Amino acid sequence: DSWFSRLTVISPDDHPPPIIELGPANQTLPLYTPGQLQCRASGNPPPVITWYKDGVPVISTAPKSIVAEDGTLKINDLVKADEGLYTCVASSRSGKATWSATLRLESRTNPNAAFFRSPEPTTLPGPP
């Protein structure tokens, strides 16, 4: 009879990948207004937030667009070219997490447009 055993040693540097706690939501906003897409993530080590629009990195160019310290992408004076699929990537040496949402823009004068703006995190209910 033979017995086999296996020992796995985990380095103290091994941590789970980041977790996106609050990701961007699909939104339809009026043209020429400001918009924001949220991305709040946690992890050890703390993750770095990077934004992509339709697969291309979003360059933070104030005053048009900035990424706040909490990971929120803020875009001023939205134009049709700002429409698209936005992806938040939270990455660290432990791995990465992604969350995507679509931003659509409509004219304020469009009678058929229904506008949906993401709620502020302070208005969301807390855990049970």
Q: pLDDT tens for residues 20-29?
A: 999 999 999 9
55-87: per-residue pLDDT in tens?
999 988 878 999 999 999 999 999 999 999 999
The CATH-assigned architecture of domain 19-104 is Sandwich (2.60)
Nearest by Cα to 74 from 55, 83, 57, 61: 61
Q: Model confidence over 27-60: pLDDT tens digits?
A: 999 999 999 999 999 999 999 999 999 999 998 8
